[in-house]
Chains A and B, each alone.
Chain A
Amino acid sequence: MTRVEQELIRNFSIIAHIDHGKSTLADRILQLTGAISEREMRDQVLDSMDLERERGITIKAQAVRVFYTARDGKTYQLNLIDTPGHVDFSYEVSRSLAACEGALLVVDASQGIEAQTLANVYLAIEGDLALIPVLNKIDLPAADPELHGGAVAELIGDDPDHVLRISAKTGEGVADVLEAIVEHIPPPSGDRDAAPRALIFDSVYDQYRGVVAFVRVVDGEFRKGDRLLAMQTGREVDAEEIGVMSPRMTPTGSLAAGESGYMVTGLKSVGDLKVGDTLTLAKRPAPEALAGYREVKPMVFCGLFPVDSDDYPDLRDALEKLSLNDASLQWEPETSQALGFGFRCGFLGLLHMDIVRERLEREYDLELLATTPNVEYEVTTTAGEELGVRSPADLPPATNVESIREPYVRCTILVPSDGVGAVMQLCQERRGSYVTMTPIEQRQQIVYDLPLAEIVTDYYDQLKSRTRGYASLDYEVVGYRESPLVKLDVLLAGEPVDALSMIVHKDMAYGRGKALVERLQKTIPRQMFEVPIQAAIGGRIIARETVKARRKDVLAKCYGGDISRKRKLLEKQKEGKKRMKQVGSIEVPQEAFLSVLTLGNDQQSNGKGK
């Protein structure tokens, strides 16, 4: 295979808010360049996981190579590195961008810039990437290309006339996008003769081939059979196969500076090849590793318990298998008095948590109970010990606590001017502190610092509902701050239920406790005996409700000896009970363990179409 000159290579990604048409544009590019035939054309080829396709989101970064013969008559190799569009996965975005020299900034011509896009644009500008502004969906009646085009140009300091106007859906203007990529994005500038270096921007585990690393080669050249050295971990492994995605895995035998592709390693876990590490050759190691990424830290934690305790080993196996492909998923065994044996799992965010849970249930056929998500607290005890607390159950008694710190995030919210009041009110309610407000287009960019714990409940839903869906949100962690936090316990029939405990700000404890017991009272069905539900701080009861005792539960007529029908009714009733969790002698429906999430509103759900 003839090596394509670096001059003819363009590495780019697409920055877009969810639902602004990134996947459709990517599909259209694949089609226009002949990488995929009409017949093969499926919607959203790049989103290959079922779940991604279903939810209309991109989770993992991927790189696809296409060839494009430009109007100058030359054939260019274009490498599209996909970026996820959700805030949970913003670290993935930075990884994708680091493997590129440029990016398409795609904005919906009827919606304008969203908070997420903004954050990613800043990432791209920091990374010195060439940006090509694109207004998509100009075929929509609500499109306002003048307004939004002007704003996009202003944001990146470009001339409004340079903003491309396209419809990825109809294909209008997409060829101009390809031309712009060739014209405005610089070719890679690696040294092909230097010691080889490649940045691992993603890795996946394939059950037949082991770990497959997705790499951007910066210097030199890698060939099939080379002994690779991962510079950070010191791990050596053979490159069993080298190739590119076009868009399926296609072996090429080698990858050279400027190119992106994959390397098959046969390793057993994605943890063995760290994303952000630099690959070089064992026999000709590069003197210096490339700048990697910061370590990904899980931000949200929850307990996952099998509804049927016999499924515990299956849950462990399933988590092990999922971790092969998801280095950001953390888990450790956890025992709950109420829920038995399970795992405390750490996630990048709520969407990540939802996705992992859904995959466990769907792909591994497990029925799971997830406890209320929480963040990790830093606790200093009176004895001067420092603890990381990921579960309310692990919080020491108040008398032993010197101080507690919680993670804060800086939230950037874009909202039309008439929504400013609602947003600020919500942020105040959630213990936010105001940072700045700046007009962008006809909207306001509001920046608040908020405790992450306030975001992982129903903040996003509230934000959407109070602004009639117009606000968009992005956030980044800004560190830990000390807060007066207390543990709120829930007692059923006088017994504390560890899985329902939560850590809350002391000023909000009363309101949360009251709302929680009211919610539980509505969620827990009548029991054989009356059950008091209490919320308590330390030993002090702050709220109480009662689940009423059952008064009537009989089968009516036993007609003409039809005894089997009666028995089957009892069996059916029993099936219904199986979906409950037995806590002491009380049957608690699974929703009850999530009810703190939904205080005040419906459960949060993210993703396209919302």
Chain B
Amino acid sequence: MTPGASHLYAHLPFCASRCGYCAFVVEVGALDRRDAYAAALRAELAAESGRLGPLETVYLGGGTPTLMRPHRLRGLLEDLAPRLAPGAEVSIEANPETVDGDQLRELRALGITRVSLGAQSFQPHLLAALDRAATPAQVRRAVACAQDAGFASVSVDLLFGVPGQTPQDLEADLAAVTGLGVDHVSWYELEIKPGTALERMGAEPPDEDRAADAYERVVEGLEAAGFRWYETANFARPGHECRHSLAYWSAADYLGIGVGAVSTAGGVRWRNAAGVDRYIAALDAGEAPRRETETLDADTRRRERWMLGLRVDRDLDIGWAGAPDHPEALERLEAGGLVRRSGSRIALTRRGRFIQNAVLQELMEYAS
């Protein structure tokens, strides 16, 4: 019997509108289902609670979780409270235009310890390109309110590689975010995903040199401001790393509840189907939501441990991860300055971190 999962993800899919770059499981224009959905989430949590041990981390992601308003989250958070380990991290994602000081204080009072604000940029023309509703002023106000509300960590999400983003825009975003006094920054490269408005508009990603220039600048700029580049796209002041995300990257078991949520436990991964109404109906009827299940064999898990483990700036213990498929490549990668080794521990060098896929493809045999 495996010990219960220590990490819980809950998906809150409601959004006021769909952003141009978004390919996540979200529900637009279904706000009247929020109460029923909250009840269904609690039902799924109750049904799956046997899989849980004491919870080290909880993450409320979306969608726009803050569209639930604090009162619809109260029941879920009350259910969770007795399951939390001492010092547990409880995160919520928030859209800056959907929160004010009162609501943030209320969320804090309900036990939320960490808030992650989706800023994406501080440049009005880029926010417009991304269909983001918040203005730069609203982002700044939301950060200040969150800091005042007493959360242990406040994080901001940003994007680079946005169509129309100049090096000057990037510098302005760097200056803005480092001036906010936040503890954590997630700075992702924009992916133009199939089915998104950006893709339909024919947006093109920048070429490799321009994207690399931006990425290197993000890393330099945040490090200079005292953040540690602790994962591919995540930066934290000491002690403010997102423990929930670290759990994914260390290949820990986790339970996901809600539409589209993914769980991995005991070598099995399952994903709940999208579709709020069917989800609610299933749980109303006392059934499990529709799920896709994938069994992870030993090789797949080993390759995933490498894929995830090399994202963080900690050493990867080969004893824990399992041998690479092409151990002979290690020497070449080390000689080429992409990998550092000491005994059974390996880590990517700074250059290696920027091209971690290429390094992974040398070491591992990813095949479908």
* Contact in complex: A561, B248 (CB < 8 Å): yes
Given A529-B336, A552-B212, A575-B368, do A561 and B357 touch, yes or no (CB 8 Å)?
no
* Contact in complex: A554, B332 (CB < 8 Å): no
* Contact in complex: B294, A560 (CB < 8 Å): no
- Find chain B residues with CB under 8 A from A562 CB: 262, 271
- Find chain A residues with CB under 8 A from B353 CB: 554
| A527 (CB) vs chain B CBs: closest residue | B358
Quick one: CB contact mask for A539-560 with B, threshold 8 Å, 1 for yes?
0000000000011111111111
* Contact in complex: A563, B256 (CB < 8 Å): no
Shortest CB-to-CB span from A572 to chain B, Å, is 8
Given A567-B307, A574-B366, do A559 and B24 touch, yes or no (CB 8 Å)?
yes
- Find chain B residues with CB under 8 A from A572 CB: 368
A528 within 8 A of B: yes
A577 within 8 A of B: yes
| B353 (CB) vs chain A CBs: closest residue | A554
* Contact in complex: A567, B303 (CB < 8 Å): yes
| B244 (CB) vs chain A CBs: closest residue | A561
A128 within 8 A of B: no
Quick one: CB contact mask for B31-71 with A, threshold 8 Å, 1 for yes?
00000000000000000000000000001010000000000
- Find chain A residues with CB under 8 A from B215 CB: 552, 554
Shortest CB-to-CB span from B130 to chain A, Å, is 15
B211 within 8 A of A: yes
A610 within 8 A of B: no
Shortest CB-to-CB span from A311 to chain B, Å, is 17
Most buried by B among A554, A568, A573: A554
B166 within 8 A of A: no
- Find chain A residues with CB under 8 A from B361 CB: 570, 573-574, 577
- Find chain B residues with CB under 8 A from A528 CB: 336, 338, 355, 358-359, 362
* Contact in complex: A553, B248 (CB < 8 Å): no
A526 within 8 A of B: yes
| A563 (CB) vs chain B CBs: closest residue | B304
B288 within 8 A of A: no
* Contact in complex: B355, A550 (CB < 8 Å): yes
| A555 (CB) vs chain B CBs: closest residue | B357
- Find chain A residues with CB under 8 A from B59 CB: 560
Given A551-B354, A552-B355, do A561 and B263 touch, yes or no (CB 8 Å)?
yes
Number of A-B pairs whose CB atoms are under 8 Å? 110
Shortest CB-to-CB span from A277 to chain B, Å, is 52
A224 within 8 A of B: no
A571 within 8 A of B: yes
Shortest CB-to-CB span from A607 to chain B, Å, is 35
Quick one: CB contact mask for B6-32 with A, threshold 8 Å, 1 for yes?
000101000000000000100000000
- Find chain B residues with CB under 8 A from A571 CB: 366-368
Interface residues of A in 461-504 (CB under 8 A from B): none
Given A560-B261, A560-B262, A571-B367, do A551 and B189 touch, yes or no (CB 8 Å)?
no
* Contact in complex: B304, A567 (CB < 8 Å): yes
Shortest CB-to-CB span from A138 to chain B, Å, is 48
Shortest CB-to-CB span from B310 to chain A, Å, is 10
A438 within 8 A of B: no
A514 within 8 A of B: no
Bound-state Cα–Cα, A567 to B271, Å: 15
A2 within 8 A of B: no
| B159 (CB) vs chain A CBs: closest residue | A556
| B261 (CB) vs chain A CBs: closest residue | A560
B300 within 8 A of A: yes
Given A551-B212, A575-B368, do A563 and B262 touch, yes or no (CB 8 Å)?
yes
Bound-state Cα–Cα, A570 to B368, Å: 9
Bound-state Cα–Cα, A573 to B367, Å: 9
| B231 (CB) vs chain A CBs: closest residue | A558
Shortest CB-to-CB span from A577 to chain B, Å, is 7
- Find chain A residues with CB under 8 A from B9 CB: 560-561
B76 within 8 A of A: no
- Find chain A residues with CB under 8 A from B311 CB: 558
Quick one: CB contact mask for B340-368 with A, threshold 8 Å, 1 for yes?
00000000000001111111111011111
Shortest CB-to-CB span from B258 to chain A, Å, is 9
- Set B61, B294, B332, B357: member contacting A553, Cβ < 8 A: B357
Quick one: CB contact mask for B114-131 with A, threshold 8 Å, 1 for yes?
000000000000000000
- Find chain A residues with CB under 8 A from B264 CB: 561, 563
Most buried by A among B248, B303, B359: B248
* Contact in complex: B307, A550 (CB < 8 Å): no
Given A554-B232, A554-B354, do A570 and B336 touch, yes or no (CB 8 Å)?
no
Quick one: CB contact mask for A37-77 with B, threshold 8 Å, 1 for yes?
00000000000000000000000000000000000000000
Quick one: CB contact mask for B301-323 with A, threshold 8 Å, 1 for yes?
00110011001000000000000
Bound-state Cα–Cα, A555 to B269, Å: 20
A566 within 8 A of B: yes
Given A567-B366, A571-B367, A574-B366, do A554 and B262 touch, yes or no (CB 8 Å)?
no
Shortest CB-to-CB span from A273 to chain B, Å, is 47
- Find chain B residues with CB under 8 A from A574 CB: 361, 365-367
* Contact in complex: A561, B368 (CB < 8 Å): no
Shortest CB-to-CB span from B337 to chain A, Å, is 9
Bound-state Cα–Cα, A528 to B304, Å: 22
- Find chain A residues with CB under 8 A from B263 CB: 561
B106 within 8 A of A: no
Shortest CB-to-CB span from A308 to chain B, Å, is 13
* Contact in complex: A553, B355 (CB < 8 Å): yes
- Find chain B residues with CB under 8 A from A555 CB: 232, 357
B279 within 8 A of A: no
- Set B208, B233, B261, B308: member contacting A551, Cβ < 8 A: B208
B199 within 8 A of A: no
* Contact in complex: B233, A563 (CB < 8 Å): no
- Set B269, B336, B356, B365: member contacting A564, Cβ < 8 A: B269
A170 within 8 A of B: no
Given A559-B24, A563-B264, A571-B366, do A552 and B354 touch, yes or no (CB 8 Å)?
yes
A425 within 8 A of B: no
Shortest CB-to-CB span from A242 to chain B, Å, is 55
Bound-state Cα–Cα, A570 to B9, Å: 24
A585 within 8 A of B: yes
Bound-state Cα–Cα, A558 to B360, Å: 16
- Find chain B residues with CB under 8 A from A551 CB: 208-209, 212, 216, 354-355
- 15 additional A-B pairs beyond A553-B357, A574-B367, beta carbons within 8 Å, are A526-B208, A528-B336, A551-B208, A551-B212, A552-B208, A554-B232, A554-B233, A557-B188, A560-B261, A560-B262, A562-B271, A563-B307, A570-B307, A571-B366, A574-B366
17 contacts between A and B (CB under 8 A): A528-B358, A528-B362, A551-B355, A552-B212, A552-B215, A554-B353, A554-B356, A558-B245, A558-B249, A559-B24, A560-B256, A561-B9, A563-B248, A567-B303, A567-B304, A570-B366, A571-B368
Chain A residues at the B interface, C-beta cutoff of 8 Å: 526, 528-529, 550-564, 566-568, 570-575, 577, 585
Top 4 A-B pairs, shortest CB-CB distance: A551-B212, A552-B212, A570-B366, A553-B357
Chain B residues at the A interface, C-beta cutoff of 8 Å: 9, 11, 24, 59, 61, 188-189, 191, 208-209, 211-212, 215-216, 232-233, 245, 248-249, 254, 256, 260-264, 269, 271, 294, 300, 303-304, 307-308, 311, 332, 336, 338, 353-362, 364-368
